[in-house]
């Protein structure tokens, strides 16, 4: 039978469409031939089709480099009250940080329709809704003590607060991890921590190469965040990865000007500028840092991938957590350097010790980024959110609560005293029978280890890596060396004290922050450096812990 006769035997519809049908069948054959032995796993965290560099299609230059510390910077934010109220209503009622649209002016350049939302977790725990006629008026932020959008719960057993004392967490005396006593209120938006996104509303847009910018919060310990700026400077000068920052005169709508610290928020471009070629992950505040099986979708509350979405995924972290979960103490000590940049990790922990920072990767905010180097196959830590370093932890009544500070010793204005075995509650305060502290609160406990600036390590937090690292005598010795080296480099040399003066000279005086406040903050940070030096020396001289 000829091909012509065979063709006539085919149905008319099939004869009419034989070309596309043949092409489709050929495509299937090719696909099976090329990819037939490839197992497809639904692990990719994104279906991105462009590289991180190609994401920016409009880069706004501005007038001057935002991080040029030789010039004065001005930033203003403008938005409608209705949009602001909607953002706050959603946050207080549901705990969700929704975006609102605003216009941002940076050093004379206006970027319209940027996206703005609240930023932080422990930082926002002191926020109180003081808006009149709001359905959540008088309530604390979700996550604050008594938070979750509700009123302060009654203490079981009829317990009472001290007579004549203010209600912790009330307006004007909010209690939160971000400087306990540093009350954030919805009626003072210029003091709130915000994340500004240049590309959320307009994909592809950036400002001076950044897609995001973090506006840092005010705190009771350091109104212009001088402590955080000095901590960032010291971290950079030690050769560790950190973030660029700048001080600015800041205004929101028609409110009085204040002084704010603005910091670059790690994005794909930031990740590309880190040493090596790798993947950056944000450690989320809800992270348990535990192995939860091989399905990467189980880790959405633990990590957020910053860059290389579509070509890389969470597998390096999942594999590390699986090993960490299974490794014996002997295996942990012997093989950790096959997974982790051990030397840089010891330096990271030592740095947090010297800076007196407890809100680290094992702290309540889980503040850190993890970087996986694609060449070395090692994980390292990038510090983030140092606003509680160098005395940034303030207690009700004023005063910083860093190790060795007057506040920590109970002097100079009602700070938290050093705990002792015979410590008793304040006069008039009755601790009811059966009363328990908030879940996870372990003052002076072992969770989180030493990387906590004398505050019991990861106060209200825990991290298996940090804990096991600090239980090993070899690794503890590495931390102690880092503390000793950094103390000599920063404090004994006098460089840190000089740096405080240099940074303070760049802080602008504004309506809300006068020169006297700036000078007082500088003195507090200098004193804190001496206090952390004393605490670090005591730690190094003390007995080594762990099992070796």
> Using one digit for the tens of pLDDT, what is the confidence trace for 215-239?
998 766 677 899 999 999 999 999 9
pLDDT, tens digit, for every residue of 329-372?
999 999 999 999 999 999 999 999 999 998 899 998 899 999 99
> Cα 192 to the chain's mean position, in Å?
15
Question: Which tokens belong to 541?
Answer: 């001289």
Are the CB atoms for 390 and 382 separated by under 8 Å?
Answer: no
Q: What is the pLDDT of residue 434?
A: 46
Q: CA-CA distance, 158 to 432, in Å (whole number)?
A: 6
Strands 184-185 and 127-128: parallel
pLDDT, tens digit, for every residue of 102-112?
999 999 999 99
Question: Which tokens belong to 97?
Answer: 């940080």
Sign of CA dihedral 276, 279, 284, 286: negative
Q: What is the pLDDT of residue 68?
A: 97
Question: Which tokens belong to 300?
Answer: 């959405």
pTM of the complete model: 0.76
> Cα 380 to the chain's mean position, in Å?
16
Residue 34: exposure state from Cβ atoms within 10 A (0-12, 13-18, ≥19): exposed
Q: 538: pLDDT confidence band, cut at 50, 70 and 90? A: low
Q: CA-CA distance, 108 to 190, in Å (whole number)?
A: 19
Q: What is the pLDDT of residue 300?
A: 96
Say how many CA atoms lie within 13 Å of 253 toward its Cβ. Answer: 11
Q: Pick from 135-149, 321-335, 426-440, 441-455 the range whose average pLDDT is largest.
A: 321-335
Q: What is the pLDDT of residue 455?
A: 40
Q: 179: pLDDT confidence band, cut at 50, 70 and 90? A: very low
Q: What is the pLDDT of residue 413?
A: 34
Say how many CA atoms lie within 13 Å of 460 toward its Cβ. Answer: 18
- Mean pLDDT over the full length of the chain: 79
Strands 245-252 and 258-264: antiparallel
Helix, strand or coil, per DSSP, at residue 106? strand
CA neighbor of 397 nearest in space, from 385, 406, 386, 384: 406
Asked whether residue 73 carries a pLDDT value surpassing 80, the answer given is yes
Asked whether residue 101 carries a pLDDT value surpassing 90, the answer given is yes
Question: Which tokens belong to 359?
Answer: 């809100």
Of 35-39, 137-141, 259-263, which range is least confident?
35-39
Contacts of residue 11, defined as CB under 8 A and 6 or more positions apart, other chains included, come to: none
CA neighbor of 518 nearest in space, from 497, 502, 504, 498: 504
Q: SS in 3 state form for 147-199?
A: CCCCCCCCCHHHCECCCCCCCCCECCECCCCCCCCCCEECCCHHHCCEEEECC
Sign of CA dihedral 509, 355, 263, 68: positive
Q: What is the pLDDT of residue 50?
A: 54
Q: What is the pLDDT of residue 462?
A: 80
Q: What is the pLDDT of residue 448?
A: 41
Asked whether residue 453 carries a pLDDT value surpassing 80, the answer given is no
Other beta carbons within 10 Å of 160: 11
Beta strands (DSSP E) in 3-140 are: 58-60, 74-78, 100-106, 109-118, 127-128
Q: What is the DSSP letter of 490?
A: I
Q: Tokens 């996206």 map to which residue? A: 115
């Amino acid at each position: 039978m000829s091909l012509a006769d065979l063709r006539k035997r085919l149905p008319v519809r099939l004869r009419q469409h034989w070309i596309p049908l043949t092409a489709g069948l050929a495509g299937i054959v090719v696909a099976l031939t090329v990819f037939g032995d490839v197992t497809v796993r639904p692990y990719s965290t994104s279906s991105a089709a462009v590289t991180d560099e190609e994401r920016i299609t409009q880069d706004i230059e501005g007038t001057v480099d935002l991080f040029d510390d030789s010039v004065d910077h001005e930033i203003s934010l403008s938005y409608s009250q209705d949009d602001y109220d909607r953002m706050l209503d959603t946050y207080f009622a549901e705990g969700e940080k929704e975006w609102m649209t605003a216009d941002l002016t940076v050093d004379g350049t206006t970027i319209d329709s940027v996206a703005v939302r609240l930023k932080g977790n422990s930082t926002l725990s002191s926020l109180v809704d003081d808006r009149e006629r709001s359905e959540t008026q008088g309530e604390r932020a979700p996550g604050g003590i008594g938070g979750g959008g509700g009123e302060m719960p009654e203490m079981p057993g009829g317990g009472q607060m001290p007579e004549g004392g203010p209600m912790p967490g009330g307006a004007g005396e909010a209690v939160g991890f971000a400087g306990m006593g540093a009350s954030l209120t919805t009626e003072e938006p210029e003091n709130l921590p915000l994340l500004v996104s240049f590309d959320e509303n307009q994909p592809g847009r950036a400002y001076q190469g950044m897609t995001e910018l973090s506006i840092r919060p005010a705190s009771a310990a350091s109104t212009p965040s001088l402590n955080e700026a000095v901590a960032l400077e010291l971290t950079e000068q030690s050769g560790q990865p950190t973030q660029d920052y700048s001080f600015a005169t800041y205004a929101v709508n028609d409110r009085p000007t204040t002084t704010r610290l603005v910091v670059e928020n790690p994005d794909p471009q930031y990740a590309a500028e880190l040493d090596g070629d790798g993947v950056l992950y944000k450690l989320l505040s809800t992270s348990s840092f535990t192995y939860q099986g091989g399905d990467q979708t189980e880790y959405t509350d633990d990590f957020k991938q910053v860059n290389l979405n579509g070509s890389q995924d969470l597998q390096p972290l999942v594999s590390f957590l699986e090993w960490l979960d299974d490794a014996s103490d002997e295996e942990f000590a012997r093989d950790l350097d096959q997974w982790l940049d051990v030397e840089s990790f010891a330096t990271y922990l030592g740095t947090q010790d010297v800076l007196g920072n407890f809100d680290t990767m094992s702290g309540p905010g889980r503040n850190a980024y993890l970087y996986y180097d694609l060449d070395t196959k090692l994980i390292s830590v990038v510090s983030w959110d140092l606003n509680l370093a160098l005395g940034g932890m303030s207690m009700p009544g004023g005063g910083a609560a860093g190790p060795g500070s007057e506040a920590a010793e109970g002097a100079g204005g009602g700070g938290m005293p050093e705990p002792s075995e015979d410590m008793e509650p304040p006069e008039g305060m009755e601790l009811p029978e059966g009363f328990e502290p908030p879940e996870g609160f372990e003052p002076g406990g072992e969770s989180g280890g030493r990387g906590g600036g004398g505050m019991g390590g990861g106060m209200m937090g825990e991290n298996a890596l940090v804990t096991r690292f600090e239980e090993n005598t070899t690794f503890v010795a590495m931390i102690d060396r880092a503390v000793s080296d950094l103390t000599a480099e920063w404090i004994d040399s006098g460089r840190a004290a000089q740096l405080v003066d240099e940074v303070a000279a760049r802080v602008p005086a504004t309506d809300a922050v006068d020169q006297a406040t700036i000078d007082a903050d500088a003195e507090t940070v200098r004193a804190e450096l001496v206090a952390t030096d004393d605490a670090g020396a005591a730690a190094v001289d003390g007995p080594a812990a762990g099992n070796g």
